[in-house]
Amino acid sequence: MPEPLILRHPSGSTPVLVGEDTLASAHGELAGWLAGRTVFLVSTPRVLGLHGARLEPLRREAGRWVVLEVEEGEPAKTVESAGRLWNAMLEAGGKRDSRVVAFGGGSVGDLAGFAAGCFLRGISFIQVPTTLLSQVDAAIGGKTGVDLPGGKNAVGLFHHPAFVVCDTSVLPTLPREELRSGLVEVVKMAALLDPALLDRVEERLDALLAGDPAELGPVVAAAAAAKIGVVERDPTEQGDRRLLNFGHTLGHAIESACGYSGLRHGEAVGYGILFALRLAVREGFDPAFARRLSALLGRFGLPPLPPLDPEELISLMARDKKARESGLTWVLPAAPGVGRMVDGIGMDVVAAELRGFIADRV
């Protein structure tokens, strides 16, 4: 097994294991964490059908193994879903030293981590992400949460997992659309944090979108390392970690306006990045880099935007969890590997640019 990456944070440290068949090779490290405990496995029927057999060695280590199935995708991330998990865990006799295993994509990880962080004021959990998006981003960094009708991830907390196990051998089973969604998040990080990774994505994009495991493995490892670096510098998102919101201000608003259906998270973020590039050029940042990123995203074949009301999007962005009392902070690319957090762009300017952005895509 490759040497784990280590994420150090205020509550301790989290080994992040990346590579093919890491779920099997990490058995020894996970056995002690599981031994004799009541373990709540939070997953979806689809993921369990595809990959549930991989967990059998871990199940044998547990004292009890309780499977809690949740909905697929973003619809699972509700306060009501979290309540159902808490009640099920309580009824099953969950204790302060019980365990939670999040086995699925980013939505499963967000929900299960939130449920674990709140249950009995916090119990230990691990992330076993099965999508590219969750392996490169969502499972790493301790963010957990659920959505409200008016805003994505509007309720949540920082609760770091004991382990993150990114088994890249599951990724080739993903549809191309899911790989595309995850690769948008890779572009987000690479553009601002790792120019060499951006070069690699540009050069190998066709193979990555085809699910080539030999190409995906190094990309997951590099993206995870970039995420770890920025989280260690800023564990509670007060400074540099906000760079990871590149594309998310509009992206989250689009998801909310669409009722969290129709577009995948990474696809909405892709449009959010394209809009941020428009603002970056307006603010005088490197237009050549903006054109480069726009051309790269153009190769992704993003699905068309559904009909959207710019005024609704403006309202949703104003309620975004990243907004401050002083207004929105935009994460904009200044140059390869350089991001800037920009305040003071008036909402009238944003609204005018947004109307033009949407009109260009009708």
Task: Write down the residue that tokens 């070069």 correspond to.
Answer: 199
Q: Is residue 221 part of a domain?
A: no
Cβ contacts of 56 within 8 Å, gap of 6 or more:
none
Last residue of a domain, one of 147, 173, 199: 173
Q: Is residue 211 part of a domain?
A: no
Q: Is residue 110 part of a domain?
A: yes
Q: Based on the number of CB atoms within 10 Å of its own CB, is 75 exposed (0-12), middle (13-18) or buried (19 or more)?
A: middle
Asked if 163 and 150 touch (Cβ cutoff 8 Å), the reply is: no
Q: Is residue 210 part of a domain?
A: no
Q: What is the pLDDT of residues 20-29, one digit of tens each?
A: 999 999 999 9
Q: Is residue 306 part of a domain?
A: yes
Residue 67's φ and ψ, nearest 5 degrees, are -90, 125
Question: Which of 145, 156, 63, 80 has its CA nearest to residue 106?
Answer: 145
Last residue of a domain, one of 155, 173, 191: 173
Output the average pLDDT for the chain. Answer: 94
217: left (phi over 0), alpha (psi -120 to 50) or beta: alpha
260: left (phi over 0), alpha (psi -120 to 50) or beta: left
| Number of neighbouring beta carbons within 10 Å of residue 61 | 17
Q: Based on the domain organization, do 145 and 13 belong to the same domain?
A: yes
Q: Based on the domain organization, do 115 and 256 belong to the same domain?
A: no
Q: Is residue 204 part of a domain?
A: no
Q: Based on the domain organization, do 272 and 157 belong to the same domain?
A: no
Q: Is residue 33 part of a domain?
A: yes
Which helix H or strand E contains 101, and what residues bound it? Answer: strand 99-104
Q: Based on the domain organization, do 142 and 43 belong to the same domain?
A: yes
Q: What is the pLDDT of residues 311-345, one digit of tens each?
A: 999 999 987 656 554 568 999 999 999 999 999 89
Q: Based on the domain organization, do 17 and 102 belong to the same domain?
A: yes
Q: Based on the domain organization, do 148 and 9 belong to the same domain?
A: yes
What pLDDT score was predicted for residue 324? 54
**CATH at residue 25:** 3.40.50.1970
- Would you give the distance in Å from CA 90 to the centre of its chain? 28
Q: Based on the domain organization, do 139 and 264 belong to the same domain?
A: no
Quote the domain boundaries for residue 318: 246-359
Residue 195 predicted with pLDDT over 50: yes
What are 333's strand-pairing partners? 339
3-state secondary structure of 87: helix
Residue 193, token pair as written in the block: 């944090």
What pLDDT score was predicted for residue 326? 52
Last residue of a domain, one of 114, 140, 173: 173
Q: Based on the domain organization, do 156 and 17 belong to the same domain?
A: yes
What pLDDT score was predicted for residue 261? 86
What pLDDT score was predicted for residue 234? 92
Q: Based on the domain organization, do 136 and 281 belong to the same domain?
A: no
What pLDDT score was predicted for residue 325? 47
Task: Give the integer Cα–Cα distance in Å for 264 and 261.
Answer: 7
Residue 1 predicted with pLDDT over 70: no
- Provide the pLDDT confidence category of residue 260 given band limits of 50, 70 and 90: confident
Asked if 41 and 66 touch (Cβ cutoff 8 Å), the reply is: yes
Q: Is residue 226 part of a domain?
A: no
**CATH at residue 293:** 1.20.1090.10
Instruction: Give the predicted TM-score (pTM) of the model.
Output: 0.93
Residue 126's φ and ψ, nearest 5 degrees, are -125, 155
Q: Based on the domain organization, do 165 and 31 belong to the same domain?
A: yes
Q: Based on the domain organization, do 21 and 161 belong to the same domain?
A: yes
Instruction: State the angle between helix axes of 195-209 and 287-298 in degrees (0 to 180), rounded to the nearest 10.
Output: 20
Q: What is the pLDDT of residues 197-251, one digit of tens each?
A: 999 999 999 999 999 989 999 999 999 999 999 999 999 888 889 999 999 999 9
Task: Give the integer Cα–Cα distance in Å for 236 and 10.
Answer: 9
Q: Based on the domain organization, do 155 and 13 belong to the same domain?
A: yes
Give, as one character, the DSSP assignment of residue 327.
B
